[in-house]
Amino acid sequence: LFGGRSYMPSTQRTTEKWNSVADCLPHVFLVDFEFGCATSYILPELQDGLSFHVSIARNDTIYILGGHSLASNIRPANLYRIRVDLPLGTPAVNCTVLPGGISVSSAIVTQTNNDEFVIVGGYQLENQKRMVCSIVSLGDNRIEISEMETPDWTPDIKHSKIWFGSNMGNGTVFLGIPGDNKQAMSEAFYFYMLRCSEDNSSEEQKIVSNSQTSTEDAGDSTPFEDSEEFCFSAEAISFDGDDEFDTYNEDDEDDESVTGYWITCSPTCDVDINTWVPFYSTELNKPAMIYCSHGDGHWVHAQCMDL
């Protein structure tokens, strides 16, 4: 464990800065899960605490790149290599400062193969996103960092001041940006999937694509019951009762008092027109439903299926 932030000690707090935070001391913690203990190490190469850095591990070696120093408000181009040796007795933790680091904070790392990673997103300044992506290649006692072809970012991503996301594995990154706050629904977000994978036709060529998968207004979004993505065939739950209670009738759309949305879809169904409240963000004034193709087919409530 390394880096992060913590609240200032209570003895140093004031009324105006009671919730102020500071970078954690530059200690490296080695955690032993077998015996449930942790040991801290002070390494002379690590002089400052860092937050929001990027870390990549391979076998017994961890590489730390970038990061943000709260004390100096800079994102230095750091590159540290920390090696952990576990001989009989006391573990040994060694740190080496390497050249060729990158200045970035809050970036996302995704792994494309055993020895290759891609760094996506993050910030190079407080109000400036890092729009380039970096390829990190690891080998025995070596690391190489190079820029890859810049993705064809959409105008929404280019003009947004902030972005966030997470690694989805297999070279795929999930990105999100806030929607236009001038819209009626300011909480709307845009979400994208960025794929960094190898083209089967050429081992050296990379394919990077992004696609928008959300709408500007959640009221215009496709409801659960109309999405083909949520049609499935399930054998896990058996339903009792006559099929006439499990049949959705489109003719009843205008009269929600008798519409198929208020059916008893399963023995454990507790959806009641008089007590029902929205369970998902897509449920506006009626419960979300999905079509189960088991048997003759029937509609069931999404929340009754724990979806």
* Pairing verdict, β 142-147 and 298-301: unpaired
DSSP 74: B
Q: Is 68 annotated to bind ligand?
A: no
**159 touches 153 (CB < 8 A):** no
Q: Give yes or no for a contact between 297 and 239, defined as CB atoms under 8 angstroms apart.
A: no
User: DSSP strand E in 60-141: where?
Assistant: 61-65, 79-85, 92-97, 108-113, 116-120, 123-125, 128-129, 134-139
Q: What 8-state DSSP symbol labels residue 50?
A: -
Between CA 191 and CA 156 the distance in angstroms is 10
Distance CA 127, CA 30 (A): 34
Q: Which residues pair with 265 in a beta bridge?
A: none
Place of tokens 């794929």: 195
Neighbours of 153 (CB within 10 A): 17
265 is in an annotated binding site: yes
Find the Cα–Cα–Cα–Cα dihedral 66, 69, 75, 79, rounded to 10°.
Answer: -30
Any known ligand binding at 269? Answer: yes
Residues making up the annotated binding site are 265, 269, 292, 298, 301, 304
Residues making up the annotated binding site for Zn(2+) are 265, 269, 292, 298, 301, 304
